[in-house]
Structure 1
Amino acid sequence: MAAFEQHMMRTYVQAGLVNTGLPVLVFRKAMVGYYHLQQEGAVKSRQSLLTIIDFSRASNQKRLWVIDLAKSRVVFHTLVAHGKNTGEQYAQTFSNREGSEMSSLGFYVTANTYQGKHGLSLKLRGLDPGYNTNAASRAVVVHGADYVSESFIRQHGRLGRSQGCPALPVGQSSAIINTIKSGTVIFANGPTEVAYESDWLSLDPALLAFARSTGLDNG
């Protein structure tokens, strides 16, 4: 436990996350889920990328991070949209329901890419029952969108909104999608007042995977 907490804090500091607005408690939750997913074989242990979306931040703030945990560095830090029925400036209401046009919280693993109406897009597999497991059937995917831009914020005071997809700035979307595709972890965090409970936040399995990855399980 102590080694995990030290590693988590060291990564947080070395990656410069303290200066980017990502709360350390959100980063810790994402790390616990990341290692738990490794323990269950949902992601490969050699895969070191972790994407965090913090929907507790306003939509006119950069609230998506792609972090290389092996190198303790932020690869991307950018804007990301929420669903039109999730809120205006702030994300407030989330759903796993078909047709809700809301964002969904929880842990995802990225799947394959395809060319859609928004260009290069990335399919997602939701892993939190009751929260995001309908992502595939709802066509909740990562894609670029014109309404995710600083110019849109200057005009409207907030980002435009999607039908539930975590939409990205057009100029960065392809690079981000190609970086995180094919089996990396995404964690979408919500505001503290929104209920979210996940088995992936169980610490013991995460500690087992962490110990194995660092050699601590060898005594």
Structure 2
Amino acid sequence: MVNSRRFLPTGLLAAVFAVLPLSSFAASLDDKLLSQLSEAAPKLDSTVLKTAFNASRCAVSNGVEMPQRLAVIDFSLPSSEERMWIFDLEKGQLVLRDLVAHGKNSGNFESTEFSNVEGSYQSSIGLFQARESYYGKHGYALRLDGLEPGINDHARQRAIVIHGADYVSDSWVSKYGRIGRSHGCPAVDNQVIRQVVDNLKGGQLVFKYYPDQEWLHSSGFLKCDNTTLAGKNLQKSG
């Protein structure tokens, strides 16, 4: 098992995927790979992982570029726990497990409220595509595009990004029993921000989970209902 906060070298899939049809992309996200990921991350709830995996498979089958890596954030866990996992989909391995913050208005120790509204200071759930890296007020960071209309598709205009923060650390957990909270961004420890960004930038998928029943029963990615997917948001990278 990979230790927390230790990254493994990853392979490149671009040359392979460039010659495969879209249907082959989706087929590569098969049950064997899901089983490998589950074994690699025994502390990640199997239902959460399966939900993230199926949403990703649905997205790929509807035109999203096949990711090399997948990040899963389980917001049903308290912020004192390492609740973010990053997987290498080529090797079926765990790359990282670490802390991640939720928005200040989503809850205190745990996150229970979510929003797609600018200025809400709440986190949003669902499937995202990690896009370009940049340097901003928080240093090295990563922009996210939400792929679910009405759920997270305002992420870019809300400036929901992955960035590093001093309040995301083991020392905060030791002192306060939780980490600090963001304005809605999934902030991570400054010690791992560069690795997180470099592993996810350029079109990788990020899935944020919470057992919100309305979302679970209405999300086009979770139902894989083509009639509920916003085609304009499902564009290939590059």
Output the TM-score relative to the length of structure 2: 0.78
Q: CA deviation at 1:7?
A: 4.2
1:133-148 alignment, distance < 5 Å: 133-148=153-168
Matches of 1:204 and 1:97 in 2, distance apart? Answer: 25
Matches of 1:116 and 1:194 in 2, distance apart? Answer: 36
Structure 1 runs not aligned, ≥5 long: 206-219
1:1-219 alignment, distance < 5 Å: 4-13=30-39, 15=40, 17-18=41-42, 21-43=43-65, 45=66, 47-190=67-210, 192-193=211-212, 195-196=214-215, 197-203=218-224
Residue 11 of structure 1 aligns with an amino acid whose one-letter code is L
Residue 170 of structure 2 aligns with an amino acid whose one-letter code is E
Residue 33 of structure 1 aligns with an amino acid whose one-letter code is A
Residue 23 of structure 1 aligns with an amino acid whose one-letter code is D
Residue 35 of structure 1 aligns with an amino acid whose one-letter code is R
Task: Kindly provide the CA deviation profile for residues 67-119 of structure 1, in whole angstroms up to 9, marking residues without a partner as x.
Answer: 01221111110000000000000000000011100000000001101111110
Report SS of the residue matched to 1:12.
helix
Partner of 1:216: none
Shift of the 28–122 alpha-carbon distance from structure 1 to 2, 3 Å rule, reads: same
Residue 84 of structure 1 aligns with an amino acid whose one-letter code is K
Partner of 1:213: none
Matches of 1:127 and 1:87 in 2, distance apart? Answer: 24
Q: RMSD of aligned C-alpha atoms?
A: 1.8
Output the TM-score relative to the length of structure 1: 0.85
Bigger relative contact order, structure 1 or 2 (CA pairs below 8 A, ≥6 apart)? 1
Report SS of the residue matched to 1:195.
helix
